[in-house]
Amino acid sequence: VMLLPTVLAEDAPHMLRASGVLPVLFLLPALGIEALRAWLAPRARWLAPVAIALVLAFGATEGAWRYAAHLRGPAAYYQFEAGASTLAAEANAFLGVGWSGEGLRAPGGNPTSGRAVYVAPRLWRDWASVRYLTAPAASQGLVYSDAAWPGFASAEDVALYLWPFEEDPAALDLLPRDRLVVVREGAQERGDLEAESRLLYVSLHTKPPDAAPQGIEARWAEGITLLGHRVTPLEGGQLAVDLYWRADEPLGRGYTVFVHLLEDDILVSQHDGPAAGGYYGTERWRAGDVVFDRHLLPFPGAYDPERHQVRVGMYWWETMEHLSPLDGAGNPTGATGHTLSE
């Protein structure tokens, strides 16, 4: 009877629904402990309580160790749908109101003015924890799943939380113009019976343009400007190359960005891919957009700016035609890329 909630459920078994059998399962070891006590009591009265105490201590220690390992493991993360909580915490932190992922209580205070959040209808509909944890912000008219809400037009900065497996051009149109656009992949999700996890959401949020470097490092044809960059060695044998692009005019093509790491003019690592992970590629750029574009290069060695050079550029993948950098007079240099300066 206690198994019926999980046996009759769709896509059984389920961890929480099956917990009803625990009282029955505990009955078996309890009977064993009672039998051990009855067998030891006539032989040495002190042995029975000592043996029972040892059994209980071992069980408690083993259980605590197993539960601690489970709570730190990926299974608990996915079973308790922590990815949806992460989405809500990020949205609340952006707005400055509600629970932001720390502690058990949401801090008080007023939200940051001039901000709004859009959550894709699929994420809003399918994840109740997103609706619950963002309820304080939603009650103040700061979170919407309808791109037609007029409040987005007056917001200075907007954060979008999109489902990564569908196009949502109406949502991308909500991004304010002449702002820095930062794109990041969010948390993962995994079904109870699935072996592999998948991306739950991708976030795009805007910042004031002065949050990006203010210089001009290089120019390309079609109105593309590289404002600045940052090279950061990461743990796990990776090198992060952050590029800040500005579009001076709309682009109609989705160019591929290449990032090459050279040592003594020899290519030692590279990453080729659309700008901003393809979630806000060059074909979507509008005049005035500043776009944060991160590329991760596999590189287990020690990065040395004196020995290593980073070269970047763009090309049209269908023909492998490179977009030419421009010289100071605005003429094409004929080069295929630009070497970043440290």
Beta bridge partners of 172: none
What pLDDT is recorded for position 17?
65
What pLDDT is recorded for position 197?
94
What pLDDT is recorded for position 41?
80
SS3 of residue 164 by DSSP: coil
Mean pLDDT by 10 residues, the chain (342 residues): 67 64 80 84 80 86 88 85 95 93 81 95 96 92 92 94 94 96 96 88 96 91 94 94 96 94 94 97 96 96 91 94 92 93 76
CA separation, residue 255 to residues 6, 229, 313, 323 (Å): 50, 19, 10, 9
What pLDDT is recorded for position 45?
76
